[in-house]
Amino acid sequence: MTARVVDLESVRAAVLDLARDLRFEGQGRYAEIAVQIARQIPREDTE
């Protein structure tokens, strides 16, 4: 397996996109779980 470096904002955005898609597909319970996961991902400082 090869390790890759990704920025946390990209990961956070991808999880929120997943939540949106799940909600669109009628999977609100799983969408809420995805949102909770996204909230656990720290935001990067933009200073």
Cα–Cα nearest to 14, from 44, 43, 30, 38:
38
What is the predicted pLDDT for the residue at 46?
A: 55
**Could you tell me the residue range of the domain that residue 20 belongs to?**
8-40
Helical axes 8-24 vs 28-40, angle rounded to 10°: 170
Number of domains in the chain: 1
Residue 21 is assigned to a structural domain of this protein:
yes
Give the torsion sign (CA, 37, 15, 12, 32): negative
Residue 47 is assigned to a structural domain of this protein:
no
Residue 34 is assigned to a structural domain of this protein:
yes
Question: What digits encode the pLDDT tens for the residues 1-47?
Answer: 787 778 999 999 999 999 999 999 999 999 999 999 999 998 876 55
What is the predicted pLDDT for the residue at 4?
A: 78
Residue 1 is assigned to a structural domain of this protein:
no
